Amino acid sequence: MKLAAFLLRYFRHYVGWAMVAAVAALLYGILTAGIVALIEPIFGEVLLAGEHSPVGLTVGEIEPQQGDAGTEQVGDMASRMKRFAAHFQLKDRLDDGYESLKKRFGINETNVVYFLPLLVVGIFLSRSLANFVSGYSFQRIGLGMTNDLRNDLYRRVLTQSSRFHAAHPSGELISRVVNDVGVMQSAVSYQVVDLVQQTLTLLFLVALLLSTHFQLAITCLVVTPIFLFPIVRFGSGMRKSSHRSQERMADLANLVGEGVRGHRVVKAFGMEGFEIEKFRRATKRHLRVNLWAQMLSTLSSPVVESLGVIGVAVLLVYAGLQIRAGALSAPLFVAFLINLFWMYEPIRKLNKVNLVLQQALAAAHRVQDVIQVPNEIREAPDAGTLETVEEDVHFKDVSFAYEKQPVLENVSLRIRKGEVVALVGPSGAGKSTLVNLLPRFFDPNSGGIEIDGIDIRELTLKSLRSLIGLVTQDTVLFDDSIRANIGYGRSDLPLEQIREAAAAAYADDFIMQTPSGYDTRVGEAGVHLSGGQRQRLAIARALLKNAPILILDEATSQLDSESEALVQKALSTLMAGRTTLVIAHRLSTVMNADRIVVMDGGKIVEQGDHEELLAVGGLYRRLYDLQFEA
């Protein structure tokens, strides 16, 4: 999908606000032109009224003087200008409006001294109001749109397959949801308001300029492309470096994440220096990209400003000559100059808008890239539900590859209801991959999995996953109370039931010893729990879910023997009566399983019970000797 269509999807809900914003911005532009149009009467009728100046003299009134070749030329130009100026009526209209206002309020040469300043105040206040309304409306659109986008993005990221998550490290995704959407938000909230408001203002000011003094205005506008060229160049440069800067930032986030999570490994291998150096190189790359982006950004204003000053100087010379020749009145010229200077502000703002919008576009592209990855795990349109397992879970001729290299090859495995199957095998054999296929974290490339003869792709994800309890090696605890962590997804449960599950998982005792019992916070910012304690919380969580199928990935890390015994007892409670697939690392689990399935290189190589497999003297025997006898 094109970026514009993508953004339009989020803009749809804010059309009402956009209309309010546009009307207010239009008013703002007109009122700005109105103020500038009052400059001439301010000088002509209020400030210079007592002096000998050609008050009210307009271009059309300047008559060419006879016999003077130079002024004849001026007169020629004047009449030509008059004809051209007729096309641009804005100044005439504003002047007419002003005159009719004066008539209506009975303004004469004396009381105009009070009337004009009052009028200026009135217009200014209205303009401020329009500014506020359009500013707020754009904020409303910007904040609202990016809010929707962020929610959408998070929903997509969270429902994506594990394959997607393997390809997009968490640092990158965090950067998309937090930073990139943030960049888009400030662009829409603060920059688009300028884009619309200042563009309109600029258009009105240009029209006013042209209708004030056509030729001078044209000369002035010819200079404009000289401004535009560097603006465009800086814009494209900024876009590229902003993209790179965001990428480097994601690298940094990944490195920090890796280092902090793995700090023990880093220390154990004495690799602090190496990791710090790696990080230093990454920050250096980030710094370089950022400095370049900053240089472009800060250089852009001075360059454009310098060019502007040169342009103004040229115009000044031209105008000076015209005034000397009597082709211009002083108030008109002052009005013209002020008009010109007022145009500088929108141009300056639009210049900045361009840069920031380029950044935001780059961010939008990155967000779109993530949001548009199709979710490979899709529900069948007529997906059904299944309440429980009556017969078996059947892996039928399953093959799978993360990329090209096959990880599972024609694996067939049938687990009867209530059976405990232990998966063993060397690391990389494909055990985790196999169990991850069951809750559809991935889909197999060929073959399929059936529960009671129904292909799991024919079930809703909700129904399928409600059948499966999952206890993984590293227990994920959320930054919440112990109670909420055990009852994850079951906030309706009374404390008694939570306690029951915790007690069955041998977790109640240690929970009661924490500072606030079941209300103690765990997770990121919470109290520290040992590996065994965390596992027992996960077991309690799974007990409470009470799913008929259980996937267990036993912790490889050694627990102390008391913890180990408690975890073991808790696991036995959990496995009782459930159809269980356990990636086994402990001898006791292997011994107690109904069946042991030995995997190697993505295939099932041996099956049987402990004694049978030992007798065969194959891979299981070797693993047994290696792992359990040592």
Residues forming the site for ligand ADP (CB under 6 A): 166, 402, 407, 425, 427-433
Nearest approach, Cβ of residue 531 and ligand ADP (Å): 19
The one-letter code for the residue type at 333 is F
Residue pair 421/413 in contact by the 8 Å Cβ criterion: yes
- Min dist CB 442 to ligand ADP, Å, is 9
CA gap 49, 560 in Å, rounded: 98
88/442 with CB nearer ligand ADP: 442
Q: Is the CB of 162 or the CB of 497 nearer to ligand ADP?
A: 162
Query: Toward ligand ADP, which CB reaches closer, 166 or 310?
Result: 166
Please, what is the minimum distance in Å from the beta carbon of residue 171 to ligand ADP?
16
Q: State the nearest-atom distance from the C-beta of 427 to ligand ADP, in Å.
A: 4
Task: Between 166 and 626, name the residue whose CB sits nearer to ligand ADP.
Answer: 166
DSSP symbols for 330-382: HHHHHHHHHHHHHHHHHHHHHHHHHHHHHHHHHHHHHHHHHHTSPPS----TT
The DSSP bridge partners found for residue 551 are 470, 581
**Comparison of 298 and 405: residue with beta carbon closer to ligand ADP:** 405
Closest distance between ligand ADP and the C-beta of residue 160, in Å? Answer: 13
Long-range contacts of 456-464 (CB under 8 A, 24+ apart): 457/380, 458/380, 458/383, 458/384, 459/383, 459/384, 459/385, 459/386, 460/379, 460/383, 460/384, 460/385, 461/377, 461/379, 462/385, 463/383, 463/384, 463/385, 463/386, 464/386, 464/439, 464/440
Pairing between β-strand 579-583 and β-strand 549-553 as defined by DSSP bridges: parallel
d(CA 245, CA 106): 63
CA 414, 418, 423: angle at the middle one, nearest 5? 50
Count the helix, strand and coil residues of the chain and give each as a percent rounded to the nearest 5. Answer: 65, 10, 25
Distance CA 593, CA 587 (A): 10
H helix or E strand, kind and range, residue 208: helix 192-212
| Nearer of residues 141 and 411 to ligand ADP, judged by Cβ | 411
Smaller CB separation from ligand ADP, 248 or 431 = 431
Q: Cβ 425 to ligand ADP, closest distance in Å?
A: 6
Instruction: From residue 129, give the alpha-carbon distance in Å to each of 17, 126, 133, 200, 570.
Output: 16, 5, 6, 16, 68
Query: At closest approach, how far in Å is the CB of 407 from ligand ADP?
Result: 4
Q: Which CB atom, from 360 or from 407, has the smaller least distance to ligand ADP?
A: 407
What does the alpha-carbon distance between residue 34 and residue 124 come to, in Å, rounded to a whole number? 9
Nearer to ligand ADP, 167 or 321 (CB): 167
Closest CA to 595 of 415, 468, 430, 431: 415
Cβ closest to ligand ADP, residue 121 vs residue 166:
166
Q: For the CB of residue 165, give the shortest distance to ligand ADP in the complex, in Å.
A: 8
CB of 520: closest distance to ligand ADP in angstroms?
Answer: 33
CA angle 139, 144, 149 (to 5 degrees): 130
Q: Phi/psi at 395 (nearest 5 deg)?
A: -85, 120
In whole angstroms, the minimum distance from the beta carbon of 263 to ligand ADP comes to 23
Minimum Å gap between C-beta 603 and ligand ADP is: 12
Q: Which CB sits closer to ligand ADP, 163 or 621?
A: 163
**Cβ neighbours of 310 (radius 10 Å):** 12
